[in-house]
Amino acid sequence: MKIDLSGRTALITGSTSGIGEATAQALAGAGADVVINGREPDSVAQTAKRLGVGGIAADVGTAEGVAALIEQLADVDILVNNVGIFVTRPVFEISDEEWMRIYEVNVMSGVRLARHYTPRMADRRWGRVIFVSSEAGVQTPADMVHYGMTKTAQLALSRGMAHQVAGTGVTVNSVLPGPTISDGVRRMWAELYPGLEPAEQERRFVAEGRAAGSLLGRLIRPEEVASLIAYVASERSSATTGAALRVDGGLIPTIIP
């Protein structure tokens, strides 16, 4: 199956590393004109140069940052709401400020961007909006309740938005990765398993941590998630909308999310 995104413009938020970077590489490889995004100009410039794509530095976790991005990129055909932050914290120790910051970044970034871009896609009768949610949206992590809450919210958003653009040629979906190797996960491992080699950290995390139920017996690689996103972004997925699509390594122990 060949995925051809020639002539499509794609924006991937939070894409200077991890799943976002892998997605940018996959979509660019399929012919899309890709624009990556991150907060740090140097990181955006370096990643954009490495991948041979465009880049816009903006903090999409703020209304001002979204406005600045939109000013530079008025229209897209594919919007991948990938940006996300997480931190482990006992639920009763999460401050108001931390609740709101994680909600602004993980949820409102996608709300604001989709609110601008999606109606324009509908006017053109084609578009793809993809929320990178998480298996944590279905199985709330006890040590990251605020993160899980935002991922559940993304599922509701994507389903509701899909209804709003029904019959327009625009699809809105979520993908649900399981624990995936990323810079953020590596930083978490450094806190959980200080001093251990990365391979041993992964083994311990799979054996003892949130990935213990994975049917893969390992963490997911960013490019594996990117492959599903590339399919959902393509013409091949035209009958898939309002869906929550798992790429969780079998971690969710149910038939449907």
Q: Which domain CATH number covers 240?
A: 3.40.50.720
Are residues 205 and 100 located together in one domain of the fold? no
Residue 63 included in any domain: yes
For every one of its 257 residues, what pLDDT tens digit does the chain have, with 9 covering 90 and above?
899 999 999 999 999 999 999 999 999 999 999 999 999 999 999 999 999 999 999 999 999 999 999 999 999 999 999 999 999 899 999 999 999 999 999 999 999 999 999 999 999 999 999 999 999 999 999 999 999 999 999 999 999 999 999 999 999 999 999 999 988 778 878 888 999 998 898 888 888 877 878 999 899 999 999 999 999 999 999 999 999 999 999 999 988 87
Are residues 127 and 213 located together in one domain of the fold? no
Residues whose CB falls within 8 Å of the CB of residue 254, separated by 6 or more in sequence, listed in order: 138
Are residues 127 and 195 located together in one domain of the fold? no
Residue 252 included in any domain: no
Residue 2 included in any domain: no
Active centre residues (catalytic):
147
Residue 253 included in any domain: no
Are residues 70 and 193 located together in one domain of the fold? no
Are residues 238 and 198 located together in one domain of the fold? no
Domain that residue 54 falls in: 9-180+221-246
What's the pTM value of the predicted model, to 2 decimals? 0.95
Are residues 111 and 212 located together in one domain of the fold? no
Residue 254 included in any domain: no
Are residues 48 and 105 located together in one domain of the fold? yes
Bridge-based pairing of strands 33-38 and 9-12 is parallel
Encode pLDDT of 53-104 as tens digits.
999 999 999 999 999 999 999 999 999 999 999 998 999 999 999 999 999 9
Task: Please tell me the predicted confidence (pLDDT) of residue 182.
Answer: 84
